[in-house]
Amino acid sequence: MTPFGQRVRELRAVRGVTLAEMAAALGVTPAYLSALEHGKRGRPTFTLIQGVIHVLGVIWDEADELIRLADLSHPRVTVDTAGLDPEATLLANRLARDIAALEPQDFQQLAAVLDEAAARRSRG
């Protein structure tokens, strides 16, 4: 499941909207919407995201969160390390090979490292 799909599913549950109801309102099939939630389809289009926001009655921060999550929800990621340090290529390949063995706390630790790097980049 993608981060976008997981959040949409949570919001649907809270609001009592079934997959079939949402699919009908968006003009897509329930199979397509299910595949999108489960990461068997690529990143959702901006139009679809806006439709989800409208159907679920999402406003402000939740809408921003859905847009951000959709951007980070491509189920097949390509990491281009051309021109970077060889360590970058090694890390990208190790992550691709070993990601299935990681635990949730490992993901949180890796995300914290990336957040630190982004903060350093924005400061300097």
| pLDDT tens column, 81-96 | 999 999 999 999 999 9
Q: Which pLDDT value is given to residue 124?
A: 73
pLDDT tens figures, 15-70: 999 999 999 999 999 999 999 989 898 889 999 999 999 999 999 999 999 999 99
Listed as own residue / partner, the contacts of 42-50 with beta carbons closer than 8 Å and 24 or more positions apart are: 42/74, 42/75, 42/76, 43/4, 43/70, 43/71, 43/73, 43/74, 44/4, 44/70, 44/73
Give the number of other CB atoms < 10 A from CB of residue 15. 12
CA atoms within 13 A on the CB side of 109: 5
pLDDT tops 80 at residue 3: yes
CA distance 108 to 28: 34
